[in-house]
Amino acid sequence: MIRGMDHSYGHLPTTEAAVTALRALAAAYGREIEVTHDIGADRTSRRTAAGVGVTTDPDGSLPHEAYLEFGGLPRVEVRLHPEDDARITVEGIPCDDIARDDVPAFCRSVFDGLAHVRARRFPPGYRLVVPLPGDRAHTERFPFILLSPWLSRHIR
């Protein structure tokens, strides 16, 4: 098992549980973290069809979305959606549809330096590869123009 992959936060049933896990992760890595909460169907990004003045879901619950920004390099931003998934942006590379339970492991992989970039000569292309527990990895393609100094140092 890869070092750093053995730490599990278990099931994160709510957005607030994920925010708490990410705050603990930021403290463990000595990084500042800024958190913004959007609560209510009229405030969350995926609820545009909720209607004017409607704040609850049809079941009466309030959807909770959070946006987190970690200080330091690499630049990491996390948007936790109410539908149990997240969008994590690493150095400007958006990684969509990350399961909420995988978000802390994804960030830990990036902060530990396990995330890397694979380059291909023909056809030219770059992929950000982030290892996850259970011999899984999230891979995201991106154009050369988004290659930051941090990403350039992690090319394999």
- Judge whether residue 48 has pLDDT over 70: no
Percent of the chain with pLDDT strictly greater than 70: 80
- Judge whether residue 3 has pLDDT over 50: no
Distance CA 19, CA 103 (A): 10
Distance CA 85, CA 92 (A): 19
Confidence (pLDDT) at 57: 56
| 135 closest CA partner among 100, 109, 96 | 109
pLDDT of 90-118, one tens digit each? 999 999 999 999 999 999 999 999 999 99
Distance CA 67, CA 77 (A): 7
pLDDT of 59-87, one tens digit each? 556 778 999 999 999 999 999 998 889 99
Region label for 6, one of left (φ > 0), alpha (ψ between -120 and 50) or beta (otherwise):
alpha
Which of the four pLDDT bands, split at 50, 70 and 90, describes residue 24? very high
Whether omega before 13 lies within 30 degrees of 0, making that bond cis, reads no
What DSSP string runs through 89-116? EETTEEEEEEEGGGHHHHHHHHHTT--E
